[in-house]
Amino acid sequence: MKFSLGTFSQDGGRRFAALCLGERVLPLHAVHSQAVHCGARWSEGASVLDLLQTWDRNLAVLRTLAEQLPAQHDSSVPMSRLQVHPPVDLPRQVLCTGANYRKHVVDLTLDMGVGPEGLQGPALRRWAEDMMDERAANGEPYVFPKLPSSITGAFDPVVLPGTTEKPDWELELAVVIGRPARHVRREEALDYIAGYSIVNDVSARDLIARTDYKMLGTDWLRSKSCPTFMPFGPTLIPACFVPDPQKLQITLKLNGQTMQNESTADMLFDVARQIEYISAHVQLWPGDLIATGSPAGNGTHYDRFLQDGDLIDSEIEGLGKQRNACVRQRPAG
């Protein structure tokens, strides 16, 4: 029985973890006695983050519950009646892999005219494609942190601050870690994943590069970590229900127009390689989130950035959908 996990609230009440069976939401606190009978050792008010701390054991209990409990359980409610919060509320660490889709980086190279002097058109494209093939074969992922305070729910507004004129969308496959991970080998990396979800790594394009002192390079704090700049969810799909994370279709529509429509197969560095690389440099903990890169079709490519009143509809095959309205932040006072 396929299921997912989420975090919800009702009528402004306290947030709770829940088992999601289709569009029905079953609060875990309502079936705590059955969970204990199945071997659960979590508290009645346990969060999804709590469950992830001993994920292998808890996954077995959750699978048993999903098989035994009907979707129309007396305590279940339709998801549409609830406030949907980030499924892991909140991860302790958020790490993002940049420039990780071949076509995306090739398009950016052409859009920005970056390359050897004199190259343009098809010749510039061939140079960019060759460069990406070389990077995939011999290079390393490029990873940076994003603050957890930027996370918001899958259906919450994205607030566009006055500090940027070029807020951009970046729909991405999200990986949630299920075991402490350090110096993980690529061949074993997928075993450290609890599940998958959806994130939109909203970015202020005009704030990425530092212009006051160019040797500083990129400024991820101001360009990536504004509040609401990472819609996350709606739910966490256990990895056992995602046969191949490199065969998922990613689609984003802006006001009904398709802007991103690509497969995760276009990643330069697959999910396993990213975990190998990240864990070689930092300690990963259960519940940590890795945003695995965004495919071609960002606002930079279209020279069209997010505006007040825009509606973003996002979907990753088998993982659910997001819908976020864009709202321009009002000046203080």
Query: Distance (Å, rounded) from C-alpha 294 to C-alpha 100?
Result: 7
Domain ranges of the chain: 4-85, 94-100+141-328
pLDDT single digits (tens) 57-116 = 999 999 999 999 876 788 899 999 999 999 999 999 999 999 999 999 898 888 877 778
The answer to whether the pTM exceeds 0.85 is yes
Q: Which fold has domain 94-100+141-328?
A: Fumarylacetoacetate hydrolase; domain 2 (3.90.850)
pLDDT single digits (tens) 154-201 = 999 999 999 999 999 999 999 999 999 999 999 999 999 999 999 999
Residue 142 has what pLDDT? Answer: 97
pLDDT single digits (tens) 111-130 = 877 778 878 888 888 988 99
pLDDT single digits (tens) 3-41 = 999 999 999 999 999 999 989 999 999 999 999 999 999
Burial of residue 114, with CB atoms counted within 10 A of its CB: 0-12 exposed, 13-18 middle, 19 or more buried: exposed
Of 2, 330, 309, 6, the C-alpha closest to 154 is 6
Kind plus residue range of the DSSP H or E element containing 252 = strand 249-254
pLDDT single digits (tens) 246-278 = 999 999 999 999 999 999 999 999 999 999 999
- What value does the mean pLDDT of the chain take? 95
pLDDT single digits (tens) 190-247 = 999 999 999 999 999 999 999 999 899 999 999 999 999 999 999 999 999 999 999 9
